Structure 1
């Protein structure tokens, strides 16, 4: 007599296999996506902590920002206080006005780099933002903003923009004591003056192509 075998027993291996495969597939689907890098590693200088002269601690944003860019490309070649002296001698600071962007860009040549300032204040916010975003694909840039990104502020200020990822702008603010700040792109666009400075190695053709 042939022993009775239930249908459930007969197909149990197939059911178990299907459940296992489904479990594996489910795990694969629910894995977290790889997160895009939030910020490139740009060296940080604080105008409050690193600049020695008390007279320049409140006014040293341009030099501290330039030092970050130089240190990014030429590690160990810049002293923020030496750079400050060079900037003062070259006339890069205009009393009661602030740092002259063109002169800061030219100062980078002393360190084997190529600098160029851009003024898109006559362009729309969309056009200007698209332009700075394009440059950020090749490295950090220095941006002119209203202090604390407050459009009502009358204090000129310069910061280093490290990267833009999604709706977030990552930046280093020399008026802070630590690196790694972030702000929404909407608030950045409100507090940015649509002016920026690009510093790159002299063999970088991207800068020349965009003049």
Structure 2
């Protein structure tokens, strides 16, 4: 199978996908073949597992051309995860900023639903600030740069993006760090669009403490 066959990006205009029985419109995301992602992650092996959240497990992978990726695989038992999956497709695919994690595409095949992101070598901020051994790696210059990067990402979401987004789940574990320790905001499953003429936003979804501590 050629690379062109493995990864389908041939959309005629905005893509429409059916996820969980409902249609997701205008995502315009590359669609990855399941076998490509399975091989890239060594068939979702424990050795490639980066972690697990309410959405499902996250695995590291490497595409045939050598690019490292992070794959969020929706747990089949997670009703909450399905809503977050659709939300991330709708929102983050339309956002581009150096301090937001980049969504490379998705994979939807049968009951399998996955989101494919750029891989962040230094993982998440919480692994540094809550680990006594790693705290020393964050001097005040680096801490200030991380804070500034997060603020830039939030400013983009709240004011400068084509959408106006409230993240609603900002925490240290959702701040990913690239190889140069630059921060990128991730996990938009709980995010909401905030209308430009709105002064407040209501939601019928509660972000409880258990979710925040995952």
Question: TM range, normalised to the smaller chain?
Answer: under 0.3
Q: Which has the higher helix share?
A: 1
Name the TM-score, length of structure 2 as normaliser.
0.23
- Which structure carries more relative contact order (alpha carbon 8 Å, separation 6+)? 1
